[in-house]
Amino acid sequence: MIAITGANGNLGKATIRFLLQKVAPTDIVAIVRNPEKINEFKEKGVTVRQADYNDYNTLKQVFKGVETVLQISTIGVDIETAKQQERNVVNAIVENNVKHIVYTSMVQARPNTVFQGTQTQYYTEELIRKSNIPYTFFRNSMYMEAIPELIGNALQTNEIRYPSGSGKVSFVSRVDIAEAIANVLTGNTHGNQTHEITGNTAYSFDELARVISTEKSIIINHADISDEVFREELISYQMPVEVVDLLVSMANGIKVGEFSHVDSTLEKLLGRKSLDLNEYVKEL
Ligand SMILES: NC(=O)c1ccc[n+]([C@@H]2O[C@H](COP(=O)([O-])OP(=O)(O)OC[C@H]3O[C@@H](n4cnc5c(N)ncnc54)[C@H](OP(=O)(O)O)[C@@H]3O)[C@@H](O)[C@H]2O)c1
């Protein structure tokens, strides 16, 4: 059986849709926090088990009989809470004699990154490496699907206000990632592997603005605002301060090149070309 944590999220659901083309629904266990939200798969015969990342005792139960786990990283805004959640999941997996962990990490994960989210995910990689369970790490670059949030209302204002300097991002389609994960979950590779999962090209926000201008036939510019102005704008949307800190750390991470790595592994795992940014933006 293959279990997927975070199965109610965008990546989890997309992965299950690809898995259903390859294995019987009864071989899939969707682990979710809110079971009532996952009717699409329950009706098809997928087993749904409930567990919160904060609840270790429940987590220990949901991996029973499971051979392969897709551990989808937590969103955890506060870094210590996020680490505790990830530790709970890894420990519960270890208790259940799982044969292969596929974990969604962040591109070029390493200690002491500027982006806080990568720090948590590198920490989880370390836990998994120490567990001695065979693993595959999907070190995903930033999703193309995150672009609408990154650019805000730029299609109306003609301006992307984002403090990323000339830092580049190798945007990658979340749906492509899901398909590649489903291929790995059902394939024969159980050795320890670390995949850098990126698009074909890295784009600065000036270049992103040009792609959007071309595909949408409007003029959009990138305004490289200061961290302080960015912070004030986020706070004006009533965003909690921890979320603001996380988003500022992400912009700073982009600025210093933490999301700029480009790698061809995704296309090898897919056996085809991955979605390129122009195609994605055209459909926005
Ligand atoms: N590479 C990127 O650009 C990028 C962007 C965003 C996120 N990420 C990372 O990639 C992961 C997957 O992305 P995604 O798009 O699928 O995110 P998503 O749609 O936000 O899904 C995250 C899932 O995690 C679940 N979750 C959150 N806290 C939980 C908890 N305490 N216990 C159990 N489940 C919990 C949520 O459950 P509910 O449905 O019940 O809320 C949700 O289903 C994210 O969690 C984040 O770590 C990467």
Q: Which pLDDT does position 178 carry in this prediction?
A: 98
E strand or H helix that includes residue 221: strand 221-223
Residue 87, pLDDT above cutoff 90: yes
- Cβ count within 10 A of residue 109: 24
Mean pLDDT of 32-39: 88
Percentage above 90 pLDDT, the chain: 93
* pLDDT band at residue 244 under the 50/70/90 scheme: very high
E strand or H helix that includes residue 49: strand 47-50
CA distance 77 to 138: 21
Q: Which pLDDT does position 210 carry in this prediction?
A: 98
Q: Which residue is closest in CA terms to ligand 1's atom 19? A: 9
CA of residue 64 to ligand 1 center, whole Å: 23
**What backbone torsions phi and psi does residue 76 show, to the nearest 5 degrees?**
5, 105
CA of residue 6 to ligand 1 center, whole Å: 6
Which CATH architecture does the domain made up of 2-141+172-198+262-272 adopt? 3-Layer(aba) Sandwich (3.40)
DSSP assignment, residue 276? P
Residue 75, ligand 1, Cβ within 6 A: yes
Q: What is the DSSP string of 86-98?
A: HHHHHHHHHTTT-
E-strand ranges in 68-207 read: 68-71, 100-106, 135-140, 159-161, 168-169, 193-197, 203-204
Alpha carbon separation from 191 to 101, 135, 275, 283 (Å, rounded): 10, 7, 27, 37
Rounded to 10 degrees, the C-alpha dihedral 185/190/196/200 comes to -60
Cβ atoms of residues 245 and 234 within 8 Å: no
Q: Domain residue spans in the chain?
A: 2-141+172-198+262-272
* Tokens read off for 281: 């933006």
Return the best residue to mutate from 31, 33, 73, 124 for the ligand 1 pocket (most ligand atoms within 8 A of CB).
33
Helices 174-186, 10-19: axis angle to 10 degrees equals 50
Q: Which pLDDT does position 142 carry in this prediction?
A: 98
Tell me the per-residue pLDDT of 110-144, one tens digit each, with 9 for 90 and over: 999 999 999 999 999 999 999 999 999 999 999 99
* Tokens read off for 205: 């926000």
* Tokens read off for 253: 């991470």
What is the pTM for the complete model shown? 0.97
Tell me the per-residue pLDDT of 175-233, one tens digit each, with 9 for 90 and over: 999 999 999 999 987 789 999 999 999 999 999 999 999 999 999 999 999 999 999 99
Helix (H, G, I), strand (E, B) or coil at 139: strand
Residue 268, pLDDT above cutoff 80: yes
Return the best residue to mutate from 74, 119, 197 for the ligand 1 pocket (most ligand atoms within 8 A of CB).
74
Q: Which pLDDT does position 188 carry in this prediction?
A: 85
Mean pLDDT of 61-84: 94
Q: Which pLDDT does position 75 carry in this prediction?
A: 86
